Structure 1
Amino acid sequence: MSDVSDKMQKCIDECLECYQSCLGTAMTHCLETGGKHVEPAHFRLMMACAEMCRTAAHFMLLNSPHHRHVCRECAEICAECAKDCERLGGMNDCVRACNLCAESCRAMAA
C-alpha cells in the first residue's frame, strides 16, 4: 500500500481487528451467553461498532479526505462499546480491540 502512511496502515489494521472482534464476539459469545449480552441496546452497539470500524477502514483505504470525520465517530463508538462490553464482562478481547481502535482513530481524526 504505497499511498498509505504507517500511522494510517496501523489504524486500518486496528479497525479491521475491531470489526472482526466485535462481530465475532456478538455472533458467538453474546448469542450463546444470552441474557444481558443479547439485550437490544448492547447488541445494537456491538453491531454499530463493527460496521463503523469496517467503514473507517474502507474510507482510509479509499484515501478519502472524509476519513477524519469517520474516524472521529468510530473512536466515539468504539469507546462506548469497550465500556459496555467491560460492564457485562467476559469480552476482554473485544474491549482491548475497541480501546486500541478508538485510540488509533482519535489520532487519525486529529
Structure 2
Amino acid sequence: MNDQALNDCIQACLDCTTACETCVDCCLGDAAMSDCLRHCLDCAEVCQACARVMARKSPMSKKWCALCAEICEACAAECEKHDKEACQRCTEACRRCAEACHKMAA
C-alpha cells in the first residue's frame, strides 16, 4: 500500500462520512427521503469503519475498501435522485470515496 494513496483514501472516507451525516440531517423528518436516509446511515458507518481499519494498516483493509466502495456507489445512486443540495454533495463525496476505495481494494 502506497502511503499517499492510503492517506487519500482515508480522507475520502472521512469526507464521505461527513457528507452522509449532513445528508441524514437534511433528510430527517421527510418520509419521502427514507431510502436516502437509510443509504446515508449505512454509508457513513462503513466509511468511518473503513478509515479506521486503513489507519491501523489492517491486513483486511482491501476487503473493507471493496465493501465501502460498493456501499458508496449505492448511496450515490440513491442521493443523485434528489435535488437537495446535501444530497448532491453526498453523491459527489460517495463517488470520490468509491473511486479511492476501488483503487485500494485492487
Do these two structures clear the TM 0.5 threshold for a shared fold by scoring above it?
A: yes
TM-aligned CA deviation for residue 4 of structure 1: 6.8
So what's the TM-score if we normalise by structure 1? 0.88
Deviation of 1:24 (Å): 1.7
Q: Is residue 86 of structure 1 aligned with residue 96 of structure 2? A: no
Using the size of structure 2 for normalisation, the TM-score is 0.91
4+ long deviations beyond 3 Å: none
The alignment covers a number of residue pairs equal to: 104
Q: Is the 8 A contact 1:15 1:53 kept in 2?
A: yes
Alignment match of 1:100 (pick from 75, 96, 104): 96
Sequence identity percentage: 36
Q: Structure 1, unaligned stretches of length 5 or more? A: none
Shift of 1:88: 2.3
Which letter maps to 2:78?
A: D
Q: Tell me the amino acid that sits aligned with residue 58 of structure 1.
A: R
Q: Show CA shifts across 1:73-93 (max 9, x none).
A: 000000000010001232111
The CA RMSD measured in Å over matched residues stands at 1.5
Corresponding residue for 1:68?
A: 62
Q: Does 1:31 align with 2:25?
A: no
Distance change in 2, residues 1:102/1:70 (3 Å): same
* 5+ residue gaps, structure 2: none
